[in-house]
Amino acid sequence: MNVETQPYVIGIDMGGTNTAFGIVDARGTVVERGSIKTDIPDINEYVKRLTDEILKLVDKVGGKENIKGIGAGCPNGNFYTGNIEFAPNLPWEGVVPFAQLLEEATGIPTAITNDANAAAVGEMTYGSAKGMKDFIMITLGTGVGSGIVINGQIVYGHDGFAGELGHVRVIRNNGRLCGCGRTGCLETYTSASGVARTAKEFLELKDVDSSLRNVEPNSITSKDVFDAAIEGDKLANEIFEYTGKILGEALADYVAFSAPEAIVLFGGLAKAGDLIMKPIRENMEKNLLSIWKGKVKILFSTLKDADAAVLGASALGWEIK
Ligand SMILES: [Zn+2]
């Protein structure tokens, strides 16, 4: 490949525990990759270590002149300011000017956003939303994130934080307490821990046999529910029905906001396939305004799991002017 006409970008996926990064080509192939621990209390030390590792990879692809830019997906990353602002799961408090620090250290233009927006850019650049101008990305993981794309652009909003659909309240009376301090947010029902909470509730309320009763209630995970559902466990399937209903109803409302061509689901829960897809689709359709019935696709991400977050972040690198 001619690296002069096909430069690379760098993608960084910053998580609470690990920071993964990779060098990505225009076709969305991760050609070099690495990772460091995120848990370094001094941000300057973290940036230095990250820079050292990244520059080693950069040397392997012929140096900085072959890199168009760095894109990073960071918890509470603000695209406008380049700052990470009050991220609860990171070791640095307050406002951290991460894009600026990394750009100064590496000498490579850097942009950041939050993880869900990065996933949306990745899906649009390399994945199942390729060629789409209007879609909504929903990431179902430890939390629930979202990225809204309208007319080919991520919606960042006035302050850079738009697209917090995981914290739209879907249950208004006696909703579950959310990490954000409010109650009834979508995240408390459809995140991995939300599914586990439902399992615990159902096991207490319903007097039916289930293989989930063999697991200590406080340590049930969404994977336990998934495994049981695959085996045909009735209660586990009811848990997915319930989760899919809440998500489907919420999606019907989100469609009313931006009339997307598709909703793309990403993350662990999406792996449950038809078990979760069927109730999501049915309940979305049932609740859509009639002008949208039968028109909105629900798709799973097609980005390879291990690379998805790095790819998503890297896609931001192409957009740096
Ligand atoms: Zn919330």
Q: Is the pLDDT of residue 307 over 90?
A: no
| d(CA 59, ligand 1 centre) in Å | 43
Integer Cα distance of 95 and 122 in angstroms: 26
User: pLDDT tens digits for 274-285?
Assistant: 899 999 999 999
% pLDDT > 70, the chain: 98
Q: Is the pLDDT of residue 125 over 60?
A: yes
pTM of the model: 0.89
Backbone region of residue 273 per phi and psi (left: phi > 0; alpha: psi in -120 to 50; beta: other values): left
**Structure confidence at residue 6 (pLDDT):** 56
User: pLDDT tens digits for 9-50?
Assistant: 999 999 888 999 999 998 899 999 999 999 999 999 999 999
Integer Cα distance of 309 and 78 in angstroms: 17
CA 279 to chain centre: 21
Mean pLDDT of 235-255: 97
| d(CA 245, ligand 1 centre) in Å | 19
| d(CA 276, ligand 1 centre) in Å | 22
**Structure confidence at residue 67 (pLDDT):** 96
| d(CA 187, ligand 1 centre) in Å | 6
| d(CA 189, ligand 1 centre) in Å | 10
**Structure confidence at residue 1 (pLDDT):** 44
Mean pLDDT of 153-159: 94
Say whether 135 sits in a helix, a strand or coil: strand
User: pLDDT tens digits for 254-272?
Assistant: 999 999 999 999 987 877 8
Q: Is the pLDDT of residue 4 over 70?
A: no
Please, what is the average pLDDT of the chain? Answer: 93
| d(CA 178, ligand 1 centre) in Å | 5
Q: Which residues have CB under 8 Å from 293's CB, separation 6+?
A: 285
Integer Cα distance of 227 and 151 in angstroms: 39
| d(CA 173, ligand 1 centre) in Å | 14
193, 195, 199, 200: CA torsion to nearest 10: 30
Integer Cα distance of 145 and 179 in angstroms: 13
| d(CA 6, ligand 1 centre) in Å | 42
User: pLDDT tens digits for 70-98?
Assistant: 999 999 999 999 999 998 889 999 999 99
| d(CA 177, ligand 1 centre) in Å | 8
**Structure confidence at residue 5 (pLDDT):** 58
